[in-house]
Chain A
Amino acid sequence: MRPRVLILHAPGTNRAVAAARACALAGGAPEVVSVEALLRGTREVREFQMMVLPGGFTYGDDLGAGRLWGEALRAGLGGELAGFVAAERPILGICNGFQALMAAGLLPGDGEAAGLAANASGRFECRWVELEPEPGSRSIFLRGLSGPIGCPVAHGEGRLVASSSAVAGWSSRGQIALRYRVPAGAKNVYPHNPNGSIENIAALTDDTGLVMGLMPHPEDAVTPAQRPAARRRAAGRLGLALFEQAMAWARRRV
């Protein structure tokens, strides 16, 4: 049984097809559905066993990345999304989807003030990164996964900012999911950490482990050919592993 995956599309989403492909390769049955269809009630989230918020520049990112999409989710679908999580169905927010989950309050979900700000470089950054799953993370997307996990990043606003106490709280509750891998002895965390996120955090999960958001694009690292040539012989997994874990979780609950 292939779990049905809702690929949530909003005006300006530009990575829905790649996200759907990743879910299909991982054994899911993806379908791209517009947020309007959910808001109008012509489609319902409960038809699905998993949800992905893919990347893009929804609503032009005009008032801050993911802000308007997040607001639409909070205002229009807050109850449905809470129910989805309560039914133990995973939600993955990628890049703009992560920004939207933050804006919607689904992440970090602990009332702490945290945000995704302009990259420390002041620029859009497109590069391949390696990610390390955080030991003890609650995220169901990472169960049993060891690093590194390779995939590209491509964003201008991905610098996670938060107070020390917020980070300490996430750490104690297993909410830190992935960190950018910075080689030992590197003089500078940049560009391994491409945006300057606090403590190299690349992904956060909520306290159920079901909702995860990350700035990198695991959906663009689903076949070995997508790795840069020089990294093809290197050890490690691809972004596809995250989708496979989610599909394994969803399959057990179908």
Chain B
Amino acid sequence: MRPPRRVEVHTLDTDPRLRPLNDALQAAAIPCAVDARVDLYDLDGDLTPHDLRALADLLASPPLQRAVIDEAPDASAPLPPHALEIAPRPGVTDRPAASLLRAAARLLHRPLRAVARSRRLLLRGDPDAFPQAAAHLHHPLIARAALGAALPSALVLPPPPPAPLAQRIPLRDLDDDALRDLGAARRLALDDAELRAAQRHFRDLGRDPTDLELEMIAQTWSEHCVHKTFKAEINYKKLSNYGEITHQERIDGLLATFIQAATAAAAKPWLRSAFEDNAGRVALCPGWEIAAKVETHNRPSALEPFGGAHTGIGGVVRDILGVSALPIANLDALCFGPLDLPADDLPPGALHPRRVRQGVLAGIADYGNTLGVPTVAGAILYDPGYVANPLVFCGCLGVLPEGAHPRRPQPGDWIVALGAATGRDGLRGATFSSLELGEDAARHSGGAVQIGDPLEERLVIDAVLAARDAGLYTAITDCGAGGFSSAIGELAAGLGAEIELDAAPLKYAGLAPWEIWLSESQERMVLAVPPDAWDALEDVAARCGTQAVRLGRLCDHGRLILRSQGQRVGDLALDFLHHGLPRRRLEATWRPPTPTPLTPPPEPAWADDLLRLLASPDGASREGVLRRFDHEVQGGTLGRPLVGAASAGPGDGVVLLPLPLQDLPDAPGVAVGLGLNPRYGALDPWRMALAAVDEAARNVVATGADPDHLSLLDNFCWGNPTLPDRLGALVECARGCRDGALAYQAPFISGKDSLNNEHLTAQGERRAIPGTVLITAVAAHPHPARAVEAAFQADGGRIYLLGETFDELGGAAWAHLHGQGRAGEAPLLRPGALRAARALHQAMRAGLVQACHDCAEGGAAVALAELCLSGDRGAHVRLDLAYAAPDLPPHALLFSESLSRYLIEVAPDDAPAFEALLCGLPLACIGEVGGRSLRIDLRDATALDLDVDSLRDAFQRGPDGPCEVQVNNQPGSFQYES
């Protein structure tokens, strides 16, 4: 047999694909750069010279690329010292290789045996820095690399060992210490009581569990899958800041007490499904429903930012697919460490925030763009508390015809796996994500990294929607955390199932039965398919370019029975799996910090403060990020994330007209907005949650969405809940979510929590992230084509400020600017928020509002500046006219972050009608649109007067601002060899 051959693809001219790599090297102050990239394809097959030439022509397209044909190296061989070779590790999804395999079969009319892909980067600069650059340019979890030497081709690496059989775990005889050791060794993430409950179960059965059974119990009982903290009974004590108990209560589960209670109280007739399925659902209009889900993918993103964010999007899109909906929009909210963090301050085992940010943004862009789902809404926050534990929230909205989501699986239905094959990737993700990150996290969790393939997911979307429309399944769920174990465990609940694990298509040989069962390989769905629909379903999958296989059948015996290689490798009672978990009893204590008054700076410099807030990493433009995300695909993004005259200003919420509704007359749209402000949480987690609900609601109301058709999603990211202080803050936060939702009479329709976001420092100190809640608001929009923008529209427009301003700068952007982040009082949600939102909505429906922007971080001054720079128009306002106490200090008028406030532009002719509609509300006309500068007066003095261009320049200076590139595209500018 011939040795594998290699096609090298050299790119001529300057290769812009190197730009991001070189930007990253530069940002990390590594004194070298990548000069060129060579793509290497190793081919194993009976290839004639003619075949090789044909494949080379396919791989290299003139005039930019040139192919060189060679032999694939079977051992490491020396290369020049500036050559860095990088290849995916065995088992890591290699999409280009798989694509080439398929293409070659078509092109040559016979298949290749195998294809492997790698790349060679040629470096220039300081040779002493090459090893550092090499470390920066690949990730050891997913890639192997060699500097100055050729990597042996993956095609000559030894094959994996044969698949092991299921092992019995001697569980019954273990004492408590040995039980704990077993839990730690297998990283089961179960506490003593839970391990003992599992042990008792097998003692009762009179046998020991298999490794698969034990792993399945750990997965099913993981925090990630069963939310045991949110269901735990909590003994809660509230202390004064002197430490006396001022309040004590027994909380019968956070989820029931605070989240589901708000949903029940709202009692909305349009609610379709909350907290019981893969995603929440609400009715949008007759015949159509909206589905929504937000997830977190924090730990995978901390370890491998691209893959973590990539599969975070992939996973939440499958949640939407898991309620039979077409995905119509992706959302993301990201919390990173500061980008200017000195390298010495980086905790051991953590990646630098710059690297995390770069990988996460690339991952979100690649997955969403490839799927053809617009990425429309997001938030980015930089704070030292997220250095070791970055947060990556991934959300998705979907649309489905009313009644199109079946949930009636029957005994006898086939259990069908649809989509990608199963590998070892992402093993134990569910339990891993319930553990803390430490220095050795990366080492222990090799398998926890998931590698996505958005092309495969696109095919799965096509197949699921075609199957839905043909009525080919009776139930569907996605494979997320816990893989088949979780998906089939849920699907079979109340029924039972028998599974042949050998039927699962594998990416490569050598997987143990428990690995197949627990693998979190991406792009897989599980369906219950009636026997008479199987042929049609198999055909749909094949037509869409993916595959469906029958793993087993649903039964009515209440057991989950698994076989592999002729052995029974698992036999568990579903009732024990789903109800055998002992309920946790937890202690929680909340002691508010001692209040510190805010000291205003002695020499006010309001103009300078405003420019610095606009240029701050949290306050500055996100244009450079948003343009990397396709936010236009599907043609329904009518209220865009970038607004105003130059489509460069920050929007509040986004308004979508879902694709299937685009040709319906008078179809409503859907608006989505986010609320996130963890800085308030350090002062008061209850107020943080109130503020997040209010901000999310404001963001959709400001676009013209209906405040009476508002749904909420909650996502908590918190520290270790078994520590009473962490849990006490979480109790307060959950209570704030309820109180905020009640104030808007809005139901929670879905939520998710990510706990144990803590890490151990090199000194062994335990650190938690700032307790963080993200609230997502989803609302019906009556006129998506008339979405209101946060940009001044016309000179002469009247500017109104709706809502009352208080001295509420605790945790505010301005307080942080002056180094007083923990001083002052965080904003409070007061009665009347919904009444104001309703009145504003009536004015919008009546067409009386030209522009609207909510006051958020940076208060009224920043909101005014954004309205000006977005609209490319000046304004003259008197903030002392705002509805506020007469003695409110200037810094509060300018920068207080009081809630439920909106800045509104109204045409002069419409002003009387507008004022009549908002009669009785805290409303003040504070000025007029016009000129080329923003001038803010306070009583008799001018606080600041800034040119619109200077506002824009400051705003665009941040790390996420617009991309700058000088382009020379004149004739003859392009150089290549002829």
* Complexed CA–CA distance, A110 and B661 (Å): 43
Q: In this assembly, does B857 line the interface, its C-beta being within 8 Å of a C-beta of chain A?
A: no
Residues of B within 8 A of A189 (CB): 967, 969
* Complexed CA–CA distance, A128 and B645 (Å): 12
B63 near A125 (CB under 8 angstroms)?
no
* Complexed CA–CA distance, A17 and B633 (Å): 11
A11 near B455 (CB under 8 angstroms)?
yes
* Complexed CA–CA distance, A57 and B372 (Å): 9
Q: In this assembly, does A161 line the interface, its C-beta being within 8 Å of a C-beta of chain B?
A: yes
Residues of B within 8 A of A121 (CB): 16, 19, 963, 965
Residues of A within 8 A of B978 (CB): 163
Render A201-220 as a binary contact track against B, CB cut-off 8 A, 1 for contact: 00000000000000001011
A125 near B627 (CB under 8 angstroms)?
yes
Least CB distance, A185 to chain B, in whole angstroms: 16
* Complexed CA–CA distance, A223 and B669 (Å): 15
Render B957-969 as a binary contact track against A, CB cut-off 8 A, 1 for contact: 0000011011101
A67 near B64 (CB under 8 angstroms)?
no
Residues of B within 8 A of A1 (CB): none
Residues of B within 8 A of A120 (CB): 16, 965, 967, 969
Least CB distance, B97 to chain A, in whole angstroms: 8
B632 near A193 (CB under 8 angstroms)?
no
A220 near B633 (CB under 8 angstroms)?
yes
Q: Which residue of A lies closest to B643 (CB)?
A: A229
A198 near B973 (CB under 8 angstroms)?
yes
B99 near A59 (CB under 8 angstroms)?
yes
Partner of A228, one of B626, B640, B969: B640
CB contacts under 8 Å to B, within A36-92, are 36, 55-57, 59-64, 67-68, 71-72, 75-76
B632 near A154 (CB under 8 angstroms)?
yes
Q: In this assembly, does A162 line the interface, its C-beta being within 8 Å of a C-beta of chain B?
A: yes
Partner of B627, one of A55, A75, A127: A127
Least CB distance, A110 to chain B, in whole angstroms: 14
Residues of A within 8 A of B102 (CB): 59, 68
* Complexed CA–CA distance, A59 and B458 (Å): 10
Residues of B within 8 A of A119 (CB): 16
A60 near B453 (CB under 8 angstroms)?
yes
* Complexed CA–CA distance, A119 and B627 (Å): 13
Q: In this assembly, does B369 line the interface, its C-beta being within 8 Å of a C-beta of chain A?
A: yes
Q: In this assembly, does B482 line the interface, its C-beta being within 8 Å of a C-beta of chain A?
A: no
CB contacts under 8 Å to A, within B315-338, are none
Residues of A within 8 A of B15 (CB): 118
Least CB distance, B74 to chain A, in whole angstroms: 24
Residues of B within 8 A of A68 (CB): 58, 99, 102-103
Which one of B181-189, B563-571, B784-792 is at the interface? Answer: B784-792
B635 near A60 (CB under 8 angstroms)?
no
* A interface secondary structure, majority: mixed
B643 near A71 (CB under 8 angstroms)?
no
Residues of B within 8 A of A226 (CB): 635, 638
B647 near A154 (CB under 8 angstroms)?
no
A18 near B634 (CB under 8 angstroms)?
yes
With A57-B455, A60-B95, A163-B974 as known contacts, state yes or no: A126 contacts B630, CB within 8 Å. Answer: yes
Residues of A within 8 A of B459 (CB): 11-12
Partner of B632, one of A152, A163, A230: A152
B63 near A161 (CB under 8 angstroms)?
yes
Q: In this assembly, does B178 line the interface, its C-beta being within 8 Å of a C-beta of chain A?
A: no
* Complexed CA–CA distance, A127 and B626 (Å): 9
Q: In this assembly, does B663 line the interface, its C-beta being within 8 Å of a C-beta of chain A?
A: yes
* Complexed CA–CA distance, A34 and B22 (Å): 40
Q: In this assembly, does B235 line the interface, its C-beta being within 8 Å of a C-beta of chain A?
A: no
Least CB distance, A53 to chain B, in whole angstroms: 15
B16 near A117 (CB under 8 angstroms)?
yes
Residues of B within 8 A of A196 (CB): 16, 965, 967, 969
**Listed residue (B13, B789, B969) with the most chain A CB atoms within 10 angstroms of its CB:** B969
A122 near B970 (CB under 8 angstroms)?
no
With A59-B99, A121-B19, A193-B967 as known contacts, state yes or no: A67 contacts B61, CB within 8 Å. Answer: yes
Q: In this assembly, does A123 line the interface, its C-beta being within 8 Å of a C-beta of chain B?
A: yes
Residues of A within 8 A of B372 (CB): 14-15, 55-57
* B interface secondary structure, majority: loop
B628 near A126 (CB under 8 angstroms)?
yes
Render B660-691 as a binary contact track against A, CB cut-off 8 A, 1 for contact: 00110000000000000000000000000000
* Complexed CA–CA distance, A53 and B588 (Å): 60
* Complexed CA–CA distance, A163 and B976 (Å): 9
Q: In this assembly, does B18 line the interface, its C-beta being within 8 Å of a C-beta of chain A?
A: yes
Q: Which residue of B lies closest to A161 (CB)?
A: B974
A123 near B628 (CB under 8 angstroms)?
yes
Q: In this assembly, does B659 line the interface, its C-beta being within 8 Å of a C-beta of chain A?
A: yes
B63 near A220 (CB under 8 angstroms)?
no
Partner of A225, one of B629, B638, B647: B638
B784 near A126 (CB under 8 angstroms)?
no
A126 near B969 (CB under 8 angstroms)?
no
Residues of A within 8 A of B458 (CB): 11-12, 14, 56-57
Partner of B630, one of A17, A61, A154, A225: A154
A225 near B784 (CB under 8 angstroms)?
yes
Render A148-164 as a binary contact track against B, CB cut-off 8 A, 1 for contact: 00001010100101111
Partner of B59, one of A14, A63, A128: A63
Q: In this assembly, does B631 line the interface, its C-beta being within 8 Å of a C-beta of chain A?
A: yes
Residues of A within 8 A of B631 (CB): 126
With A11-B545, A60-B95 as known contacts, state yes or no: A199 contacts B58, CB within 8 Å. Answer: no
Q: Which residue of A lies closest to B784 (CB)?
A: A225
A113 near B965 (CB under 8 angstroms)?
no
Least CB distance, B852 to chain A, in whole angstroms: 12
Q: Which residue of B lies closest to A156 (CB)?
A: B369
Least CB distance, B59 to chain A, in whole angstroms: 6
Q: In this assembly, does A147 line the interface, its C-beta being within 8 Å of a C-beta of chain B?
A: no
B785 near A225 (CB under 8 angstroms)?
yes
Q: In this assembly, does B644 line the interface, its C-beta being within 8 Å of a C-beta of chain A?
A: yes
Residues of A within 8 A of B791 (CB): 229-230
* Complexed CA–CA distance, A163 and B645 (Å): 37
Q: In this assembly, does B719 line the interface, its C-beta being within 8 Å of a C-beta of chain A?
A: no
Partner of A113, one of B19, B62, B545: B62
* Complexed CA–CA distance, A208 and B58 (Å): 26
Q: In this assembly, does A167 line the interface, its C-beta being within 8 Å of a C-beta of chain B?
A: yes
B663 near A21 (CB under 8 angstroms)?
yes
With A12-B370, A75-B106, A198-B973 as known contacts, state yes or no: A122 contacts B20, CB within 8 Å. Answer: yes
Least CB distance, A164 to chain B, in whole angstroms: 4
Least CB distance, A42 to chain B, in whole angstroms: 11
A124 near B59 (CB under 8 angstroms)?
no
* Complexed CA–CA distance, A63 and B94 (Å): 12
Q: In this assembly, does B764 line the interface, its C-beta being within 8 Å of a C-beta of chain A?
A: no
Q: Which residue of B lies closest to A222 (CB)?
A: B635
A63 near B633 (CB under 8 angstroms)?
no
A122 near B58 (CB under 8 angstroms)?
no
* Complexed CA–CA distance, A32 and B459 (Å): 15
A57 near B454 (CB under 8 angstroms)?
yes
Least CB distance, A246 to chain B, in whole angstroms: 18
B13 near A199 (CB under 8 angstroms)?
no
Q: In this assembly, does B25 line the interface, its C-beta being within 8 Å of a C-beta of chain A?
A: no
Q: In this assembly, does B371 line the interface, its C-beta being within 8 Å of a C-beta of chain A?
A: yes
Residues on A lying within 8 angstroms of B by beta carbon are: 11-12, 14-15, 17-18, 21, 34, 36, 55-57, 59-64, 67-68, 71-72, 75-76, 103, 113-115, 117-128, 152, 154, 156, 159, 161-164, 167-168, 188-191, 193, 196-200, 217, 219-226, 228-230
**Would you mind naming 22 contact pairs between A and B with Cβ atoms under 8 Å apart?**
A11-B459, A14-B370, A21-B635, A57-B370, A57-B455, A59-B455, A60-B455, A62-B98, A63-B58, A63-B99, A63-B103, A64-B61, A103-B61, A113-B62, A120-B16, A121-B19, A123-B19, A126-B627, A159-B16, A162-B974, A193-B967, A228-B647
If A14-B633, A118-B16, A122-B20 are given as contacts, then 19 extra A-B residue pairs at C-beta distance below 8 Å, sorted by A number, are A11-B458, A12-B458, A15-B372, A34-B543, A60-B99, A68-B99, A72-B106, A114-B63, A121-B965, A122-B18, A123-B20, A124-B365, A126-B627, A126-B630, A162-B63, A163-B63, A190-B967, A228-B640, A229-B787
| 5 smallest beta-carbon distances between A and B, as pairs | A14-B372, A122-B19, A225-B785, A11-B545, A60-B455
